[in-house]
Structure 1
Amino acid sequence: MNVLVLLAAILFILMIMIGGKKGARSFLTLFINFIVLFFTILIMLDPNVNPVILTIISSIIISGITLFFINEVNSTTIPAFISTMITIIIMIVFIVVVTEITMIQGFSEEEIEEIGIFSLYIGVDFIKIGASMIIMSTIGAITDIAISIASPMREIYNHHPTISRRDLFTSGLNIGKDILGTNTNTLFFAFFGGYLALLIWFKDLSYSLGEIVNSKIFSAELITIFCAGIGVALVIPIASSITVLFLMKKSNFS
């Protein structure tokens, strides 16, 4: 049996055993989001399409599927979705500026040899492509933090409906502080895990520490990690405030 099919089957069985129907929806969400990303990349190659606008649209679709398809529409997923969208819009503006200043778009020296026979004049804006790539790398972490804050805040409010806005907001921040460090480290070690072969290659090429840090491919990945960490940190107060407003407003109308 194909290894990919076997691993997918094991993952599906475990998600069904542990998560039940929600686990099955989570498994299906992986493939749906992959299809969305696949078509996003295909459309992004069209020179007439703005990659940043396309990224915003695909981020809305991916976040909506991840939050609403798995957990349905409720008082947890709605503020988490709104918080994710606000954070992504802020991050896209920030990332476009950072990408243009640092000039990390395009290909590095280590990659030029492999694509040297191809033309790089393909009519797309590599700055916007680079910014879109970074925001695509952060969308999962931002959505995860948003739902991780909104869900316990809802539980706190349901058990203590008389809690003040300030105390509920403070609780959201405290929850965010607990998960901020672990998520940032997850992003950091995901980079080193995925680019371990690159680091070994740097060693074989006898790169000094300064050459490694200043290499374009290494800097681009570190900037991606830092931007993802900024997005993770930024979504915490945004998700806390949006969840407070949503829960309090809902209670006023009920």
Structure 2
Amino acid sequence: MNVLVYLTIILFLLMKLIGGEKGTRSFTALFLNAGVLFLTIFFMTVQAINPILITLAASIIISCINLFYINHINLKSITAFLATIFTLLFLIILIFMIVNRSMIQGFGIEEIEDLTSFTLYVGVNFTTLAICTIIMGAIGAITDTAISISSAMSEIYLRNPLLDRSSLFKSGMNVGKDILGTTTNTLFFAFTGGYLALILWFKDLAYTFGEVINSKVFSSEIISILFIGTGAILVIPITAWLSAYLLTKYKVDLTINKIIST
């Protein structure tokens, strides 16, 4: 317990020192998001409410916290929010199509022994639960990429307000290409670090490559990562286009967040 307290204090001090007021809000947002997550899990147990609708509502709330609470309500946060919503809606269609066909819901045979003392009658369809898990996992990467692109393009336009829409869009896409490589690598190493023990277990069990790929535990995580990566990629051109359109349509004083219509 003491270790958790010390690490939390160190995290807060570093965020406060480097990020200032925004760092403090970012630290507070961690706990707000955790509260939203716990409430989402609680409401999922209510039989009368569709878990997917709950997850979508939670995703919107989390997006508002990450974008509007941390960055305030301004053009770049509004743009990032709209791009997040558009990307999420498109991604949901893909998730429904693929999850129902891939049969990744439920638990793999590697997990059965650990679950023997628990009941699987949780009152939620496991296919629905798999969809909710992917949506919740994707929202963080999507909002992070969206605000990165929107913030960079706002800064570019602030420094050179004479840029036309096409040039500004190309600048946003160039920023997105740089972010793209680090984002996909982050997702890959997050999976590798989190499931390193599982990979070593597969080796001890002498699984063939085909058995590893077809393992439900492995394939479900890979599919989740691919969905999250797809969302992080799709949000780049959407955010770049929205930012270019809104910044050139409105003359924006980014220092006071005031929008003056042309």
TM over 0.5: yes
Please state if 1:226 is matched with 2:226: yes
Aligned partner of 2:138 in structure 1 is 138
> 8 Å contact 1:96–1:127 — kept in the other structure?
no
Matching residue of 2:46: 46
Write the distance in 2 (CA, Å) between the matches of 1:47 and 1:126. 14
Runs of 4+ more than 3 Å apart:
none
- Hey, what's the Cα distance between the residues in 2 that align with 1:187 and 1:51? 25
Q: How does 1:9-158 map to 2 (within 5 A)?
A: 9-158=9-158
TM-score (norm 1): 0.96
Contact 1:83 1:146 in 2 (8 A): yes
1:245 and 2:253 aligned:
no
The C-alpha deviation readout for 1:5-48, integer Å capped at 9, x for no partner, is 11101101111111111111111110110110111011112232
Deviation at residue 120 of structure 1 after TM alignment:
2.3
Separation (CA, whole Å) in 2 of partners of 1:249 and 1:51: 39
Q: Is the 8 A contact 1:52 1:92 kept in 2?
A: no
* CA positional deviation for 1:74: 1.0
Judge conservation of contact 2:80–2:147 (CA < 8 Å) in 1.
yes
1:49: how far off? 1.8
Structure-2 separation of matches of 1:155 and 1:9: 32
Unaligned runs of 5+ residues in structure 2 are 252-259
Q: Indicate conservation of the 8 Å contact 2:67/2:77, yes or no.
A: yes
d(CA) in 2 for partners of 1:112 and 1:238? 42
TM-fit CA distance, 1:123: 2.9
- Does the Cα contact within 8 Å between 1:83 and 1:242 map onto a contact in 2? yes
Aligned residues: 254
**Alpha-carbon distance between aligned partners in 2 of 1:63 and 1:113, rounded to the nearest angstrom:** 37
Q: Corresponding residue for 1:182? A: 182
Flag structure 1 segments of 5+ consecutive residues without an equivalent: none
Instruction: Letter of the 1:81 partner, please give it.
Output: F
Deviation at 1:200, TM superposition (A): 1.4
> Helix, strand or coil for the counterpart of 2:75?
coil
RMSD: 1.4
Q: Give the percent of matched residue pairs that are identical in Structure 1 and Structure 2.
A: 53
The whole-number CA distance in structure 2 between the counterparts of 1:206 and 1:131 is 31
Cα displacement string for residues 126-170 of structure 1 (whole angstroms, at most 9, x for unaligned residues): 112101101111111111110110011111112222211111111
Alpha-carbon distance in structure 1 between the residues aligned to 2:50 and 2:105: 16
- Structure 1 residues 239-248 or 8-17, which shifts more? 239-248
TM-score normalised by length of structure 2: 0.93
Answer yes or no: is the 8 Å Cα contact 2:99–2:131 preserved in 1.
Answer: yes
Equivalents in 2 of 1:198, 1:176: separation in Å? 33
Secondary structure of the residue that 1:14 maps to in structure 2? helix
Secondary structure at 2:250's aligned position in 1?
helix
- Once residues 133 and 47 of structure 1 are traced to their aligned partners in structure 2, the CA distance between those partners, rounded to angstroms, is 18
AA aligned opposite 2:5: V
